[in-house]
Structure 1
Amino acid sequence: MNKQTIQTEFETRYGKPTLLVRSPGRVNLIGEHTDYNLGFVLPAAVDKEIIFALSPSSDKQSHFHALDLNETLDFDTQNFQKSEKTWANYGLGVIDQLQQLGHQVPAFSCVFGGNIPQGAGMSSSAALECGLAVGLNELFNLGIDRVDLVKLSQKAENEFVGMNCGIMDQFASVFGKDRHALKLDCRSLEYEYYPADISEYKLVLFNSAVKHSLVDSEYNVRRSQCEEGVALLQKLGENVASLRDATLPMLEKYQSHFDEVVYHRCAYIVKENQRVLDACQALANQDLATFGQKLYESQHGMQYEYEITVPETEFLVDQTRDEPAVLGGRQMGGGFGGCIINLIEEAEIDRIANQLAQTYKEKFNLDLEVYIADIVNGTEIMIDD
């Protein structure tokens, strides 16, 4: 779905667009489940994106047209409710948040479409929210800064859609930088870029095609186990507001006081935060071998301490461990399936992907989807050619 296709569809329906916006999906290189523990994450915006064409409406109604689905929602920006069209609620939530902040949102028309794979964990929802937020901010001169656009996009998903996501996805979508990873401090929202110009290597995602329904319930369980660990440390006299403040020596000192499972959950988070910092240092040193090793260490922690992997993703990661052209890999996302992210020598991608697809099919009778991701800039207004 390219810019020209979106523009042509808009012209057919609503006339010439005033504005074109592109908003990317993201991958999280390392730092899983650290966000709600107020720790560090290392995402990057990637070249799978949604493109929007926007203009003030020529009538009193607003119009959303999702080109990929060939579905339209016509609505009144001053009086709307949650839609039965799930995709529309991500956009309606943005309008709702803008209005809660006191901004007037006149009627507008919008056509959007993109190439972010559904269910691959690249956060098409954040791309939709952020692209529309940046677009409406520009279209109607609302004067909202980019950090606040990120926050309202997250709140749109939390409050209107009803998904209790952290802020990483929206932040990466807006603040991504070409050929750089973005280290985000989820407590202060301070961020820093690290060079990820990985030249002869590529980020490759293998989609396991498995998504267990456990993910939402188990996410909440993990979150409460982390909170239980913090409460115990506080009770024992430690000055910690979240697991971000905990250290491994601190956990080890009180290990006998912990439930064994809660201890392992907390240990994973503390170690994963450090892995993010180590991975950033490796990128700064252009040490891709160490960076890749951190991915494998993260996988080990997710498998044996946080227990959010599944046999399918474990198999996919294990198949790459003895492959010299693969520097590292791990399951990406909330857990219990989804994609594994790998750092693979570009010249060897086809061979490895074909080999892995064959062995995966033989083992699980599942087809393997492969995505190659390049790191790009975040959400931006597109220059009209």
Structure 2
Amino acid sequence: MLLAQAIATAFRQRFQHEPLLVRAPGRVNLIGEHTDYNGGFVLPAAVDKEIYFAVGLNQTDTIQLVAHDLDKTFSVATNGVQRSKTLWANYLLGVVAQFQKRGIQVPGFDCVFGGTIPMGAGMSSSAAVECGLAFALDQLLETQLDRMTLAHMAQKAEHEFAGVQSGLMDQFASLFGQAGQVVRLDCRSLAYEYFPFDTSACHIVLCNSGVKHSLASSEYNTRRQECERGVTILQQHYPAVQSLRDATREQVQALREELGEVVYRRCLYVVEENLRVEAACHHLLAGNLQAFGQEMYASHAGLRDQYEVSCRELDVLVAAAQTAPGVFGARMMGGGFGGCTINLISPEQVDSFIAHQKAAYQQQLGLPLETYSATIVAGVGLWAGPAEV
């Protein structure tokens, strides 16, 4: 909470008025990777790596933004909001633009923000920034927009101002997270359901490979195209298949030759990953973390061999985890070609697991390893800071 207090203090000292204090969490995705843009299922949770905001209306027509961590400022007239060359500001400006597009007049405001979400670790710091400001403006302007609307606005901000065609999962998880719960989102209907996740029986540890291979963005678009090609072929034989969400394993296997080996593997992975998400939810309800972990290992194998978005660093981390005591499951998390593995560990083994992973990573690749322990927390909300810090 020291950072949150520092942000509140910085706001009061700089702007001389009282802010609204908001916290917006990052997220992890336990299972369900590359299923979102195929209309499938994901299983994210909000975690205690967060962005803190101090925001207040300033009775002018100027928006003043302060990136506390970067020690950078940005200001713009309320009627001049557009994409800028200041990349960090675009995530915030994009949110303002979404309010304006709805015909909501956004007056001048001051904003100081900063956080504890590690950059480049795949925990969706950008979504937390967008959702936190969207929530703060909704509170200050009393627009009474529901959380799903705010999630869509934050996603559009990312598309239009940051230029990233993300799915809805990141923004959804940041806004809809609940402490001690993971949430299964149907990315097609947007129906969602909470499942208990007992953090006293199992801890989440992320291992950051520290690499981001340049393949990531181009290969991401290629995978989307390969899946779309698969759907086109499947539709010719099974008209009910509107997305890979509708396809069965048997249908994909029956068309293996026509799909071609690469598209066949991509489609089979997505179909099987959706089945794994559903199975994983049943395991959570039954309290069977061992079985849940097996679904995670199978997910990683699919991402490595069928979807081909893993890399040596991630594979080394998952293989090392499989030999460590107290590990329920592990897999790569996120788009791939770098980023983090997510690991479920019995609480008494967390320290030895981290030491084991660091040693294995150094020994096999000569690389240092950064790790983060994460607790599942509630989604975006007000932070009741002290009146004076």
TM-score after normalising by structure 2: 0.97
Q: Tell me the residue number matched to 2:13.
A: 12
* Superposed CA offset, 1:319-352 (max 9, x none): 1113331010000000111100000122222222
In structure 2, the residue corresponding to 1:130 is in which secondary structure? helix
When residues 58 and 102 of structure 1 are mapped into structure 2, their CA distance, relative to the original with a 3 A threshold, is: closer
2:180 aligned with 1:179, yes or no? yes
Within 5 A, what are the aligned runs for 1:1-385? 2-385=3-386
- The letter for the 2-side match of 1:229 is G
* Superposed CA offset, 1:19-50 (max 9, x none): 11000000011000000000000000000000
Deviates more, 1:234-243 or 1:270-279: 234-243
* CA distance in 2 between partners of 1:237 and 1:174 (Å): 37
When residues 359 and 323 of structure 1 are mapped into structure 2, their CA distance, relative to the original with a 3 A threshold, is: closer
CA shift at 1:146, angstroms? Answer: 1.0
Deviates more, 1:136-145 or 1:51-60: 51-60
* CA distance in 2 between partners of 1:259 and 1:42 (Å): 30
* CA distance in 2 between partners of 1:380 and 1:275 (Å): 31
* CA distance in 2 between partners of 1:237 and 1:292 (Å): 33
Q: Is the 8 A contact 2:60 2:107 kept in 1?
A: no
CA shift at 1:384, angstroms? Answer: 4.1
Q: Is the 8 A contact 2:81 2:96 kept in 1?
A: no
Q: Is the 8 A contact 2:59 2:107 kept in 1?
A: no
Q: Is the 8 A contact 2:27 2:124 kept in 1?
A: yes
* CA distance in 1 between partners of 2:230 and 2:220 (Å): 16
Deviates more, 1:143-152 or 1:231-240: 231-240
CA shift at 1:259, angstroms? Answer: 0.6
Q: What RMSD, in angstroms, separates the aligned Cα atoms of the two structures?
A: 1.1
* Superposed CA offset, 1:218-254 (max 9, x none): 0011000000000001122431110000000111222
Q: Is the 8 A contact 2:325 2:353 kept in 1?
A: no
In structure 2, the residue corresponding to 1:300 is in which secondary structure? helix
- The letter for the 2-side match of 1:367 is P
* CA distance in 2 between partners of 1:368 and 1:282 (Å): 31
* Superposed CA offset, 1:184-214 (max 9, x none): 0000111100000131320000000011010
* CA distance in 2 between partners of 1:383 and 1:199 (Å): 26
Q: Percent same amino acid at aligned positions? A: 50
* Superposed CA offset, 1:268-297 (max 9, x none): 000000100111111111111111111101
- The letter for the 2-side match of 1:288 is L
Count of residue pairs the alignment pairs up: 385
In structure 2, the residue corresponding to 1:6 is in which secondary structure? helix
CA shift at 1:58, angstroms? Answer: 4.3
In structure 1, the residue corresponding to 2:152 is in which secondary structure? helix
CA shift at 1:382, angstroms? Answer: 2.0
CA shift at 1:16, angstroms? Answer: 3.1
* CA distance in 2 between partners of 1:78 and 1:60 (Å): 8
- The letter for the 2-side match of 1:46 is V
* CA distance in 2 between partners of 1:17 and 1:58 (Å): 13
* CA distance in 2 between partners of 1:230 and 1:339 (Å): 30
* CA distance in 1 between partners of 2:52 and 2:18 (Å): 12
Q: Is the 8 A contact 2:11 2:19 kept in 1?
A: no
* CA distance in 1 between partners of 2:271 and 2:167 (Å): 18
* CA distance in 1 between partners of 2:241 and 2:255 (Å): 14
In structure 2, the residue corresponding to 1:78 is in which secondary structure? helix
* CA distance in 2 between partners of 1:13 and 1:198 (Å): 39
TM-score after normalising by structure 1: 0.98
- The letter for the 2-side match of 1:351 is S
- The letter for the 2-side match of 1:227 is E
* CA distance in 1 between partners of 2:325 and 2:357 (Å): 14
CA shift at 1:256, angstroms? Answer: 2.2
Give the 4+ runs in structure 1 shifted more than 3 A. none
- The letter for the 1-side match of 2:147 is R
